[in-house]
Amino acid sequence: MIPHQPEVSNLLMLISLATGEAPESVGARIGEGGSGMLKSVVTETLNEYLRPLRKRRQELEKNEDYIREVLSAGISGASRLQSKH
């Protein structure tokens, strides 16, 4: 059962979205662990969820030519769209 406290429900939903586990199941797993345990689980879950994205960003940051190429393509695309309107 999801608590009727919006802030707790939101944290359970974040965990659920990152893990695929139902919010009710997350709440049952945390049980009476309290807000400290909930915050710990949220932090750990989101860090794990974001780990591959952070790794990919670090890889991309090393290739400045690629970043410039992507930015240039984005500017060109935006300019084309703006000139059509």
Q: Which residue has the higher pLDDT, 26 or 82?
A: 26
Length of the chain: 85
Report d(CA 42, CA 12) in Å as an integer: 8
pLDDT tens digits for range 41-76:
999 999 999 999 999 999 999 999 999 999 999 999
pLDDT average, residue stretch 20-46: 94
pLDDT range class, residue 3, cuts 50, 70, 90: low
Is residue 40's pLDDT more than 80?
A: yes
pTM of the model: 0.69
Alpha-helical (H) ranges within the chain are 6-19, 23-30, 34-61, 64-84
| Phi, psi of 52, rounded to the nearest 5 degrees | -65, -35
